[in-house]
Amino acid sequence: MGKRYFCDYCDRSFQDNLHNRKKHLNGLQHLKAKKVWYDMFRDAAAILLDEQNKRPCRKFLLTGQCDFGSNCRFSHMSERDLQELSIQVEEERRAREWLLDAPELPEGHLEDWLEKRAKRLSSAPSSRPHGILCCGRAYVLNQSPTGGHEGYSHCLAAQCLPATPLFPWAQFLEG
């Protein structure tokens, strides 16, 4: 049978030799499929520019359908669609300008904040309930005024010791 060539654009395969590959790559079906593929990744400004330069498709305006589809050389966008697209382009332009004008954070800013937060959390007594995982269930342990935990006497099974500490969100798993 020999080697086969698979074209991702056209979603088809054929025997791979110089003649067949050249014929396929220069074929109208392949060129249209390749254009459709790359058009999916165009930005809104390029689409708006192209659509504004095209005349409206008469058949699409009358019937709502066009035999040429995305390969039509006329525009299938209504005035409302063009306005929405121009608004989107303007918003994208403003967002890019805002990102360029935004002040840059000093180097190490995030790391400093994380260090301060860790120190603050380690020095402050926790008032949130803590939990453990025991026998496949999550149990909430409330901290007593003396600093110890209450409510751990529910199970002393060997497979549960040592208990696996959970994060504070374990209180939502209590069943």
Using one digit for the tens of pLDDT, what is the confidence trace for 45-83? 998 999 999 999 999 989 989 998 877 889 999 899 999
Taking only the tens place, the pLDDT of each residue in 132-147 is: 555 555 555 544 444 4
What is the bridge-based pairing of β-strands 149-150 and 4-7? unpaired
The reported pTM is 0.45
Angstrom distance (rounded) from CA 149 to CA 139: 12
| Residue of higher predicted confidence among 167 and 82 | 82
For residue 15, CA distances in Å to 4, 25, 28, 34, 52 come to: 4, 13, 19, 20, 42
* Stated length of the chain: 175
